[in-house]
């Protein structure tokens, strides 16, 4: 059997709009103006996955692939009670774990990744979720986006998680012409100082999820139509 290790709680700290305005030079460039407007539009933007520690966020993020955060939270409410630590996942019966995460879709692959990932955490990191990009991406089933979510949200380490929402917002606002998440991440890192990276993850995802949607974007309710090249081109 794999030994059991305790987890720990985390607190997410956000940069306020006044603090962001201090960081962004005046007069603001296009990227800075866009971030200020998004920040002002969504004062309550947050990570919607429910979690109490880095391991829970890691599992929830793996489950969130091709699944809504709301559905993930419904699944993890019981999952986190049944599997309270990395050892519980590593020692889990794979079929039982598959059934537990089935509603998230792609459940066989997700269950396999969670089990293998937690075994790595136990044997290679003494049961503690690592807090570095290299260590996180070396875990089974953990890619750069998932690692960036962990760094930005659980560990408050400067990182930008480029998911489908962040990619769409960045492209439509003309902040990048790239399609690769890794290249988009590099473009955003060049545009914004490190102290803003955590907030970009939270704010761009929120804006993309609720306003700048893939289909039927709510451009009439958006705070950025006059500085959005995608919208201006659409109405031209």
Residue 7 in domain? no
Range of the domain at 64: 54-154
The answer to whether 229 and 172 are in contact (CB under 8 A) is: yes
Task: Kindly report whether the peptide bond that precedes residue 46 is cis, defined as omega within 30 degrees of 0.
Answer: no
User: Other C-beta atoms within 10 Å of 25: how many?
Assistant: 10
Give the count of domains, the chain. Answer: 2
pLDDT digits (tens, 9 = 90+) for 8-66: 333 344 455 556 555 554 445 999 999 999 999 999 999 899 999 999 999 999 999 99
Question: What's the confidence (pLDDT) of residue 20?
Answer: 53
Question: What's the confidence (pLDDT) of residue 236?
Answer: 85
Residue 138 in domain? yes
Based on the fold, state whether residues 58 and 141 are members of the same structural domain. yes
DSSP H helix total and E strand total for the chain: 13, 0
pLDDT digits (tens, 9 = 90+) for 117-137: 999 999 999 999 999 999 999
Sole residue written with tokens 């949200």: 153
- Here the tokens at position 22 are 């201090």
Based on the fold, state whether residues 41 and 61 are members of the same structural domain. no
Where is the domain boundary, 154, 185, 216? 154
Specify the CATH number for the domain of residue 170.
1.10.1670.10
The stretch 206-211 carries a mean pLDDT of: 97
- Write out the catalytic residue numbers: 145, 163
Based on the fold, state whether residues 59 and 147 are members of the same structural domain. yes
Specify the CATH number for the domain of residue 97.
1.10.340.30
Question: What's the CA gap between 230 and 120, in Å, rounded?
Answer: 43
Whole-Å CA distances, 72 to 58, 80, 82, 103, 189: 12, 11, 15, 8, 29
Residue 73 in domain? yes
Question: What's the CA gap between 181 and 122, in Å, rounded?
Answer: 29
Q: Determine phi and psi for 53, rounding to 5 degrees.
A: -160, 170
pLDDT digits (tens, 9 = 90+) for 132-160: 999 999 999 999 999 999 999 999 899 99
| Higher-scoring residue by pLDDT: 15, 68 | 68
Based on the fold, state whether residues 77 and 143 are members of the same structural domain. yes
Sole residue written with tokens 């606002």: 173
The stretch 177-186 carries a mean pLDDT of: 96
Where is the domain boundary, 116, 131, 154? 154
- Here the tokens at position 4 are 């059991």
Give Cβ neighbours of residue 102 (< 8 Å, ≥ 6 apart): none
Based on the fold, state whether residues 195 and 172 are members of the same structural domain. yes
For residue 206, pLDDT beyond 60: yes
For residue 4, pLDDT beyond 80: no
Where is the domain boundary, 154, 177, 194? 154
The stretch 86-115 carries a mean pLDDT of: 98
| pTM score | 0.85
Based on the fold, state whether residues 41 and 59 are members of the same structural domain. no
Residue 29 in domain? yes
Based on the fold, state whether residues 194 and 168 are members of the same structural domain. yes
Residue 6 in domain? no
Based on the fold, state whether residues 149 and 58 are members of the same structural domain. yes
């Amino acid at each position: 059997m794999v030994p059991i290790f305790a987890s720990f709680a985390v607190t997410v700290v956000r940069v306020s709009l006044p603090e962001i305005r201090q960081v962004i030079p005046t007069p603001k460039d296009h990227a800075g103006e866009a971030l200020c407007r998004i920040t002002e539009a969504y004062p309550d933007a947050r990570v919607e996955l429910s979690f109490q520690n880095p391991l829970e966020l890691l599992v929830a993020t793996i489950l969130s692939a091709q699944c809504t955060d709301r559905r993930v939270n419904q699944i993890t409410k019981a999952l986190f009670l049944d599997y309270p630590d990395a050892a519980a996942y590593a020692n889990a019966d794979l079929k039982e774990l598959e059934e537990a995460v089935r509603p998230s879709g792609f459940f066989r692959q997700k269950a396999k990744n969670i089990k293998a990932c937690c075994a790595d955490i136990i044997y290679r990191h003494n049961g503690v979720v690592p807090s570095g990009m290299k260590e996180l991406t070396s875990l089974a089933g953990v890619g750069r986006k998932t690692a960036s979510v962990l760094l930005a949200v659980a560990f408050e380490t400067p990182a930008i998680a480029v998911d489908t929402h962040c990619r769409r917002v960045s492209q439509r606002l003309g902040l990048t012409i790239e399609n690769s998440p890794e290249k988009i991440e590099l473009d955003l890192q060049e545009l914004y100082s490190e102290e803003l990276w955590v907030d970009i993850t939270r704010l761009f995802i929120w804006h993309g999820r609720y306003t700048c949607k893939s289909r039927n974007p709510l451009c009439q309710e958006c705070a950025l139509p006059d500085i959005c090249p995608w919208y201006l081109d659409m109405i031209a």
